[in-house]
Structure 1
Amino acid sequence: MSEQAGKHVYRIEGLSCTNCAAKFERNVTELPNVTAAKVNFGAGKISIEGEATLAEIEAAGAFENLKVQEEQDTTVRVVEKESFLKKHSQLLLSLGLIILAMASQLINGEEFILTEGLYILAIVIGGVSLFKEGLTDLFKLNFSMQSLMTIAIIGAALIGEWAEGSIVVILFAISEALERFSMDKARQSIRSLMEIAPKEALIRRNNLEQLLPVSQIEVGDIMIIKPGQKIAMDGQVIKGHSSVNQAAITGESVPVEKQINDEIFAGTLNEEGLLEVEVTKRVNDTTIAKIIHLVEEAQGERAPAQAFVDKFAKYYTPAIMGIAALIVVVPPVFFAGDFQMWLYQGLSLLVVGCPCSLVISTPVSIVSAIGNAAKNGVLVKGGIYLEEIGQLKAIAFDKTGTLTKGTPVVTDFLTTDSTKEDEYFTLIATLEANSQHPLASAILKRADEKALLYQTLTVDDFTSITGKGLQGTIAGTTYFVGSAKLFAAILPENPTINETYQAFQQQGKTVLMLGTAETILAVIAVADELRESSQSVLTQLHEMGIAHTIMLTGDNLTTAQSIGQKVGVTEIKGDLMPEDKLTAIQSLKQTYEKVAMIGDGVNDAPALAASSVGIAMGGAGTDTALETADVALMGDDLQKLPFIVKLSRQTLSIIKQNITFSLAIKLIAVLLVIPGWLTLWIAIIADMGATLLVTLNGLRLMKVKAK
């Protein structure tokens, strides 16, 4: 790669610990033509401002044998896979020498020159890279994990503890390898997202069909997708009909029917029919590309718990070194203690005091949780929002498009003459076909379903009566369609119809009537359908301990109360303007502190922004929702809400467990120093064990499943 100016992002392979990430970041920043560098440990990426070659960047990460690749590099790198023996040859050789040394010790004794020689050789071979980095860090007064280990091993050698020094080296090497494996496992969730979209697609361009790499596909190209194929690009269906499995993007378990004009997402699977799709976005702008980018950014955002741990570790490591120095000096000088014994105790404390498990306790949990959420169709913008969701006490819901489907449907149709149902519905549809009324689409959809020929009728003298309804002449008769206001003069003369109207109103439905100037012929009720999952979601949230649920809607209070009572929210507010929703959220925060708002990401923007966590519905098809909300439910599926609350709470719980466990291990080690029981091998096992246990505990978050 030639040197390039500006900002560049690279992927890093082999980044295993936060200390290594910080060191790599410093090394890259110190490169001659680099002005700034920032490592995203969770995602395994580095952003660089300035000029650098791949060779220079990899050299900066040589201490961890890091491999670097440009973020947008889609070429397949042919890498010779190392065998296990070759990859871990130094570790295995060192381990073999220790086994031989132990055998020699049993036969010849510890003081025998061959025994000591084998232990020394094991330390040198197994710890060469450790000592190189540790000594470099010590000269720079950078008290890293490597520098602490180097001091401990050199100290052990000075007092003749060759066996324990070699065991520290080998266990540290094993710990590093296992830690790297664990972090790779945690990052696998986002890698699996990156691999789901094909790297090429069959494209028709200028009447010629050709297989093209996604980087060469342009907006407007026609993509041909056969049954059983994965879809490479976002687009719009222009020909064909099929069911598409969108689980990878939205978390939906049931395939979705796709017809002409429907949206298609890259990374989804065409299950049945042949589809022709017009490409609407370039490869870097697809929904899956945005999700991956946002998830990786989220994994790099520090959660409050992580910020606390990082700050704590900054003071903790020098404090451990200070305590270790006091242990070495105070007992021999002031209490006539054995210097060699207390030096050994101080060295052991240095090893067990390594902050590795503490520092990695939070990021591994955040990376696992955010990756798992993305795989289940929930996009979380950062660790801070995971923590906020876990602490929620109240959730506010928009009504239209959130608790309801957002598309009105005809629910009831009653006529004064049952033999003329189709005739009267055709009259209503004919008038509504000339209208811009929001409910017209629901009426026309039902007319189409009933195969009524309303398009064949001619309307004369069509008039829209503002705030009341419609008027038009069909076959010489003037008909009216509208609200009760339009029929106010004759409605009292029709008590049965009046009662029906009142009943529908109480159910939260919008009621229209068909009639002439003298009589009412039919009543039609239209309502925004409730989502099938709304009631069960509210029940689950209440069972999970969410103290307060409230519906905030601009719809009239009667309709709001009808919907709210059905789903089971604890409070209902209707007739709200956007600023009223904002005021309601601010009031809720004063009472409950942590409050979420869930809406469509557009109309509810002020309320979403003011809440502790703004959750948008249907992020997969809405760029606004993806970019403005803190959390997006990709599949427009309210059932993901209890899942993300559960996942967030488990994340908080596991972070607390990890921090508590890490600090407890350190405290126990300090207490073991008092009677002189702490040994180097106990120290390294305790440190290695703590690091692995907190990592494995964090990885459990990848297994949390949505119902």
Structure 2
Amino acid sequence: MNSDTQLSSKSCHRVTNETERGSKSPSTTRIEFIFALASGALILSAWLLQHFHYYSLSVPLFLAAFVIGGYYKAKEGLIDLIDNRTLNVELLMILAAIGSALIGYWMEGAILIFIFSLSGALETYTVNKSHREISALMDLQPETATLLVNEQERTVHVSELSIGDHVLIKPGERMAADGKILRGHTLIDEAALSGEPIPVEKKINDEVFAGTVNKNGFIVISVMKKSDQSLFQKIIDLVQTAKDEKTPSQQFIETFEGTYVKVVLLLVGLMMFMPHYLLGWSWTETFYRAMVLLVVASPCALIASIMPATLSAISNGARQGILFKGGTHLEKLASLKVIALDKTGTLTNGKPEVTNLILREDMNQDYFLQMTCSIENLSNHPLAEAIVNYGKKNGVISFGEVEKMEDVIGFGLDATINGENWKVGKRSFVGEENAHLFFNEQTSQLLKEGKTLVYVTDATGIAGVLALQDTIRKETIDAIQSFKKQGIYTVMLTGDHEDTANAIQAMTDLDEYVANCLPEQKVHEIKRLNETYQMSAMVGDGINDAPALATAHVGIAMGGGTDAVIETSDVVLMKNDLTKITKAIQLSKRTNRIVKQNIAFSISVIVLLIISNFLGHVSLPLGVIGHEGSTLLVILNGLRLLRG
């Protein structure tokens, strides 16, 4: 990820400076559009007056078109000249238009201003639309905490917490700070950090992290880090740091523009004097040829080589459910060498499902599911929800009355139905010895496959075992194979344990996986891939993926992901379909091919016109036609990307 998204780095319209000074307000962007369109209307009116031979009336309209259409671009060019003391394309275009007017070619100069201002307004609009915010991420960080002072509760701002303070965390609240549990026993939803949907059991002396959610019991933690040093705050800092970095391509384009403008102005300056003394041209001819040079050397066709093509590709992608936040990211996808993918919610559906059911020989499946679902229906644990859904799919239409139930946090449920005792939970909860003897080979195999086992016992003993797993998305395998065909190396970065990661790799044929990854570790892995493969992408859907998305060259968010990760990413898949990435890569390659065609063509035309002007074969009207014609052709070529 890079600095704020922009349609074409700097290009003809000083996008970089806009980003550095802050994005323009929507009202300013609308005014730019209105000014550009008003300039076009004035040009049309002036042309009509000329057509009917009202030449004196047309000049004020052309002058108004110059002022209105060129106001914002001239302002930006002058501000950049004053602030950075660098010449820019804005000034070059304004000088070309003024030069055309000075020798009587008002129409040509006004058209140059109109095209330049309209394309500038379009690009500014795109930049503002793609401006990133991380407010969604910030919202998940608690603002207040319940501080315990002599066992008395006091509400304070998290910034007031000091290391060693005791903080009470109630059920449903987010952790106010990184700390260690002093009292209590609970389940904590750490999806904000690990991306895994299943809550983690926490007891005394276990670490907890700011931003994670306390699911069940009351706990008291001892603060280990101040709020600005928490793991959650580090995620935010990583995103902000990565956003401020500029890519080499952006820096190259900035350097190219400055150099090009200086060279053109130097040539124009020489052209205004040297031919008179060296070739014996008249002063009129010398000045005329200098103005023609200023027009034909203006790089509008070169700039238009990129923007219309990029806009067309972005529009095409949007119709296919692929949202590009700028042309820079669209361009990079064509060079992709490695793609890292989060597991939960990206490769998988993000919710556990029952995949296997093993029953005791004398146990009836319908009765087993009826009893188990009646108990699990009273729990809000993700595994319980998956078991209830499985029961409903297999004929359970009503639930029995549970006479008594105890939720043993971190272990399972102990319930009584029709006077019979049932237990649903971990192997240690129902009895290690019985569990070890029950279908040992089958359960061992299920564990090797990375599945979670839930044991169910009745008065006789273990009645059955349910195996659950976060299932692979139906399009995941096709997407992985497609990446491989394009020579892209695939890596899974997951917060899950080794067995599960190994099982997912076997099912999807991924090239590599890294298990037990927290956000900071994911960033480290992305940096490693950046160094090894030069062009990387990261795909994720959770807040825990945001730093990695920001560190990768291209961050891709799944549409079902959190607001924070969508805001942080460069590309958003509006539907959770990994095969869309393949289409995005193909569109990127098509775009780059057309852009290269446009650049080669526009440079060839500029060189040809400059040479012809030196030889005296190009008049100002013909120069404008060549200049505008080449611009129109590259725009039309770029618009081909709207199809398919």
TM-score by length of 2: 0.64
2:28 equivalent in structure 1: 46
Return the letter of the residue paired with 2:28: I
Q: Are residues 395 and 422 of structure 1, via their aligned partners in 2, closer, same or farther at CA, if it must alter by over 3 Å? A: same
2:5 equivalent in structure 1: none
2:555 to 614, 620, 626: 614
Return the letter of the residue paired with 2:445: A
CA contact (8 A) 1:313 1:359 kept: no
Q: Are residues 429 and 668 of structure 1, via their aligned partners in 2, closer, same or farther at CA, if it must alter by over 3 Å? A: same
Does residue 532 of structure 2 align to residue 591 of structure 1?
A: yes
Give me the whole-angstrom Cα distance separating, in 2, the residues matched to 1:600 and 1:551.
13
Deviation at 1:689, TM superposition (A): 1.6
Does residue 382 of structure 2 align to residue 409 of structure 1?
A: no
2:502 equivalent in structure 1: 561
CA contact (8 A) 2:296 2:606 kept: yes
Give me the whole-angstrom Cα distance separating, in 2, the residues matched to 1:37 and 1:379.
26
Give me the whole-angstrom Cα distance separating, in 1, the residues matched to 2:340 and 2:49.
62
CA contact (8 A) 1:594 1:612 kept: yes
Deviation at 1:397, TM superposition (A): 1.1
Deviation at 1:573, TM superposition (A): 2.1
Deviation at 1:180, TM superposition (A): 7.8
Give me the whole-angstrom Cα distance separating, in 1, the residues matched to 2:573 and 2:320.
9
Mapping of residues 494-643 of structure 1, within 5 Å: 494=438, 497-516=439-458, 519-546=461-488, 548-618=489-559, 622-643=562-583
Deviates more, 1:349-358 or 1:414-423: 414-423
1:692 equivalent in structure 2: 632
Return the letter of the residue paired with 2:300: C
1:213 equivalent in structure 2: none
1:88 equivalent in structure 2: 44
Give me the whole-angstrom Cα distance separating, in 2, the residues matched to 1:564 and 1:122.
75
Give me the whole-angstrom Cα distance separating, in 2, the residues matched to 1:631 and 1:695.
24
Give me the whole-angstrom Cα distance separating, in 2, the residues matched to 1:449 and 1:330.
88
1:207 equivalent in structure 2: none
Give me the whole-angstrom Cα distance separating, in 2, the residues matched to 1:606 and 1:44.
28
Query: Equivalent residue of 1:529, what SS?
Result: strand
Give me the whole-angstrom Cα distance separating, in 2, the residues matched to 1:192 and 1:38.
13
Q: Are residues 609 and 350 of structure 1, via their aligned partners in 2, closer, same or farther at CA, if it must alter by over 3 Å? A: closer
Give me the whole-angstrom Cα distance separating, in 1, the residues matched to 2:113 and 2:265.
22
Q: Are residues 135 and 396 of structure 1, via their aligned partners in 2, closer, same or farther at CA, if it must alter by over 3 Å? A: closer
Does residue 283 of structure 2 align to residue 348 of structure 1?
A: no
1:667 equivalent in structure 2: 607
Mapping of residues 78-477 of structure 1, within 5 Å: 88-94=44-50, 143-152=91-100, 154-155=102-103, 308-309=252-253, 312-336=256-280, 344-417=288-361, 420-435=364-379, 437-452=381-396, 455-460=399-404, 462=406, 464=408, 466-467=410-411, 469-477=412-420
Query: Equivalent residue of 1:678, what SS?
Result: coil
Deviation at 1:441, TM superposition (A): 0.6
Deviation at 1:673, TM superposition (A): 4.1
Give me the whole-angstrom Cα distance separating, in 2, the residues matched to 1:454 and 1:133.
72
CA contact (8 A) 2:359 2:464 kept: yes
CA contact (8 A) 2:420 2:459 kept: no
Deviation at 1:317, TM superposition (A): 3.7
Q: Are residues 453 and 348 of structure 1, via their aligned partners in 2, closer, same or farther at CA, if it must alter by over 3 Å? A: closer
Return the letter of the residue paired with 1:356: C
Return the letter of the residue paired with 1:65: A
CA contact (8 A) 2:491 2:512 kept: yes
Does residue 421 of structure 2 align to residue 481 of structure 1?
A: no
Mapping of residues 56-67 of structure 1, within 5 Å: 65=38
Deviates more, 1:450-459 or 1:497-506: 450-459
Q: Are residues 601 and 46 of structure 1, via their aligned partners in 2, closer, same or farther at CA, if it must alter by over 3 Å? A: farther
1:100-150 Cα deviation digits (max 9, x unpaired): xxxxxxxxxxxxxxxxxx9x889969955578799998xx99844353244
The alignment of Structure 1 onto Structure 2 pairs a total of residues equal to 503
Q: Are residues 38 and 453 of structure 1, via their aligned partners in 2, closer, same or farther at CA, if it must alter by over 3 Å? A: closer
CA contact (8 A) 2:340 2:537 kept: yes
CA contact (8 A) 1:617 1:633 kept: yes
Q: Percent identity, please.
A: 32
Give me the whole-angstrom Cα distance separating, in 1, the residues matched to 2:548 and 2:479.
21
Return the letter of the residue paired with 1:617: M
TM-score by length of 1: 0.59
CA contact (8 A) 1:431 1:459 kept: no
Return the letter of the residue paired with 1:571: E
Cα root mean square deviation, aligned? 4.8
Deviation at 1:549, TM superposition (A): 1.2
CA contact (8 A) 1:616 1:633 kept: yes
Give me the whole-angstrom Cα distance separating, in 2, the residues matched to 1:154 and 1:466.
83
Q: Are residues 304 and 129 of structure 1, via their aligned partners in 2, closer, same or farther at CA, if it must alter by over 3 Å? A: farther
Give the number of the structure with larger relative contact order, counting CA–CA contacts within 8 Å between residues 6 or more apart. 2
Deviation at 1:537, TM superposition (A): 1.8
Deviation at 1:425, TM superposition (A): 1.6
Query: Equivalent residue of 2:469, what SS?
Result: strand
Q: Are residues 37 and 677 of structure 1, via their aligned partners in 2, closer, same or farther at CA, if it must alter by over 3 Å? A: same
CA contact (8 A) 1:429 1:443 kept: yes
